[in-house]
Amino acid sequence: MAKIGGKIILVLLLVTVAVLSVNNKLPTRLSDIKIKVSSLPIKFVRVEGIFQHLKREELQEVLMPWVSTGFLEADMPTIQQVVGDLPWVKTVAIKRIWPDTIDIKVEEKIPFVRWGENSLVTEQGIIFSPKDINEFSQLMIVTGPKDQQLKTLEIMKGVTTALSDQSISLTEFHINERWSWKIKLTTGLEILLGREEQLKKLQRFLKTLSVLTPEQIQAMAVVDLRYPNGYAVSWKPDTPEIDWTGSANPNHPVEAEKQ
């Protein structure tokens, strides 16, 4: 009777284990618990792209916390985000390559001009702020209204073209929140263009340069074109008094005030 009872008890135990296995999704053999697909390590992180400014150390710093895990457990969206958040990264694409490699393709941003004192902007209007922009001191400084950088760049290009016809170059171009323009030439001359008919006023000023001597042009510090029929000039310190009688020309009216 004990022998039969022992068999009954054994059968009941096996059934119990089987039920627990189904209900709790546990392995039926203890050795199965040790088998984990996540044990596949990431052996290689391959970053591809043409880099001039993106530093290897920057990539390593942001990647290390996210690639020190299993191949299948790697958080791909997060890896893409942390790489994409680096200032110099324009686009990033990421994928797994079986069985042990994470492949990352990166496109670097190309600076077009400086945006203010501490940032850069691409020709597509993307503003970014690397830690150090000292090496871009030769680029033009541009500022514009909030979220209007693309339109600001388009206007700046038009002004640059107008000046290039006179072999004049820009070093700064500014549009404030009221859409008033101000430019600075590589000679140091500042030109205030106001909010209306800016290009027309600039063209009118450029025409008057033909009746001025190089010394007179060089002596100008600020030119204010916000007048309907002329402009005012602030001269550099110690500029001698200028006799304008010899510069009179009915085709090129000049209203220059000593300031």
Whether residue 118 is found in the same domain as residue 187: yes
Whether residue 210 is found in the same domain as residue 161: yes
Whether residue 83 is found in the same domain as residue 98: yes
Contact 211, 249 (CB under 8 A): yes
The residues with which 45 forms a beta bridge, in sequence order, are 102
Whether residue 175 is found in the same domain as residue 222: yes
Task: For 149-186, give one letter per residue: b (16+ CB within 10 A) or e.
Answer: beebbebbeebeeebeeeebebebbbbeeebebbbbbe
Helix (H) or strand (E) holding 193: strand 190-194
Rg (CA), the chain: 35
**Sheet of 170-175, strands arranged across:** 127-128, 119-121, 113-115, 141-143, 170-175, 181-185, 190-194, 220-224, 232-235
Higher pLDDT among residues 56 and 154, named by residue: 154
Domain end position, chosen among 108, 142, 169: 108
Whether residue 117 is found in the same domain as residue 241: yes
Mean pLDDT, to the nearest integer, of 73-86? 95
> Which range of residues forms the domain containing residue 81?
39-108
| Whether the predicted pLDDT of 200 surpasses 70 | yes
Contact 103, 95 (CB under 8 A): yes
Q: Find the CATH number of the domain harbouring 146.
A: 3.40.50.11690
Whole-angstrom distance, CA of residue 59 vs CA of residue 86 = 8
Mean pLDDT, to the nearest integer, of 87-102? 95
Kindly state whether residue 27 falls inside one of the protein's structural domains: no
Kindly state whether residue 252 falls inside one of the protein's structural domains: no
pLDDT at 238: 82
pLDDT at 186: 93
pLDDT class for 4, splitting at 50, 70, 90?
A: very low
Whether residue 117 is found in the same domain as residue 104: no
Kindly state whether residue 257 falls inside one of the protein's structural domains: no
Mean pLDDT, to the nearest integer, of 185-200? 95
Domain end position, chosen among 91, 108, 125: 108
The tens digit of pLDDT for each residue in 105-117 reads 999 999 999 999 9
pLDDT at 214: 87
pLDDT at 10: 36
Kindly state whether residue 130 falls inside one of the protein's structural domains: yes
| Whether the predicted pLDDT of 199 surpasses 60 | yes
Higher pLDDT among residues 30 and 170, named by residue: 170
Higher pLDDT among residues 73 and 20, named by residue: 73
Calculate the alpha carbon distances from 55 to 59, 61, 74, 79, 113 in Å: 7, 10, 23, 17, 21
Whether residue 125 is found in the same domain as residue 103: no
Whether residue 212 is found in the same domain as residue 237: yes
Whole-angstrom distance, CA of residue 211 vs CA of residue 218 = 14
Residue identified by tokens 């290689």 is 44
Q: Cis peptide leading into 99, omega within 30 of 0?
A: yes
Helix (H) or strand (E) holding 23: helix 2-24
| Whether the predicted pLDDT of 6 surpasses 50 | no
**Sheet of 89-97, strands arranged across:** 44-48, 101-108, 89-97
Kindly state whether residue 158 falls inside one of the protein's structural domains: yes
Instruction: List the one residue out of 173, 181, 168, 176 whose CA is nearest residue 156.
Output: 173
pLDDT class for 232, splitting at 50, 70, 90?
A: very high
What mean pLDDT value characterizes the chain?
83
Kindly state whether residue 82 falls inside one of the protein's structural domains: yes
The tens digit of pLDDT for each residue in 136-146 reads 999 999 999 99
Mean pLDDT, to the nearest integer, of 48-71? 91
Kindly state whether residue 157 falls inside one of the protein's structural domains: yes
pLDDT at 251: 53
Domain end position, chosen among 60, 92, 108: 108
Whether residue 158 is found in the same domain as residue 242: yes
pLDDT at 25: 45
pLDDT at 22: 36
The tens digit of pLDDT for each residue in 9-52 reads 333 333 333 333 334 444 434 344 344 455 689 999 999 999 99
Q: Find the CATH number of the domain harbouring 47.
A: 3.10.20.310
Whether residue 133 is found in the same domain as residue 242: yes
Mean pLDDT, to the nearest integer, of 71-78? 93
Whether residue 104 is found in the same domain as residue 117: no
Kindly state whether residue 1 falls inside one of the protein's structural domains: no
Tally the domains of the chain. 2
Return all residues near 61 (Cβ < 8 A) that are at least 6 apart: none
Whether residue 94 is found in the same domain as residue 154: no
